[in-house]
Structure 1
Amino acid sequence: MRHRRWLLLLLTAVLAVCLLSGCGLGAQSGLIHLNKDVIQDILQKDGLNITVTEQDALNQAVEQAAQNLEGAQRPDPEPAAVRSQIAREIGTPPLICSVYDSSYWPNSPWGNPNRHEQTAASFAQQLYKEGHGDAYAAAVASFTTRDGEEMLLFVMTKGS
């Protein structure tokens, strides 16, 4: 009987950790910070010497664009309009600007690269293979559509 209590306590603790660790985006909108070291590790394992950085200007522009999209109709809309808004703010044309369902981006509480980092690495590889250089900046921000659907705005552009 005593073992059941400990097992119940352990399972309750595991559930609490999972709920608090961010197994989803929650209802808040805003910037999502990427782990640059994890992205670099993914790229190096693939034999690529590509640098992915964070830029304050890009982060702010992406967060502002996500706030502008907050409450909008499902944004399969005009990625070109979002892209040009961000490009105006940072003074550089983004090379990739995509919107995804948040269900595509589960976080990993176990320390594995999450889909944010995996996608940043794959976008960097794509841009590198297209001949855009070997330094990029990436940013991701979340927002909620009018119908309550959680979405993510992902942008990658040339780094400095």
Structure 2
Amino acid sequence: HLSKCLMLLVVNAKNLESLGIFEEHILIRLIGDRLPACRDSKLFIKDLHFDEVPVRIYLPRLQSASKRREVIFFHGGCGMAYERTCRYFARKSNSVVVSVGYRLAPEHPYPTQFKDCLTAIIHFMRTAQDYGVDPSRIITCGDSSDGTLTAAVAQKICN
């Protein structure tokens, strides 16, 4: 029944938005935030929280002879819009990938996004060895405006 209700909302989202009853981006986030992780035979995929910030971790299943690299990926793409990209990064580079689900504008104005991303990366840096990651091999990246977040967080960490 829930899926029928969501479909009805999707179909009528623009009409409801024009009446001032509803905002379409809220519906997109509601649906996106509830999408489960895709299964992947080569990865363990876990939804966790780093100090209250939701993250999804992609861990390669194959054992590694040495500590792995880690990629922290910032994106605001409706919950898990970049899920396929994160799986690709983890599989192809044999790295642990952390996708940070920071709070989004307009409901959460800046600098909330920056603070959430900074919190997540600090948490991971402190616990990297728990995930088989070499703390000296952690990188951050982001797509579109999240490239700006990536640069800002990296500068804060370095200073």
TM beyond 0.5: no
Which structure shows the higher strand fraction? 2
TM-score (norm 2): 0.30
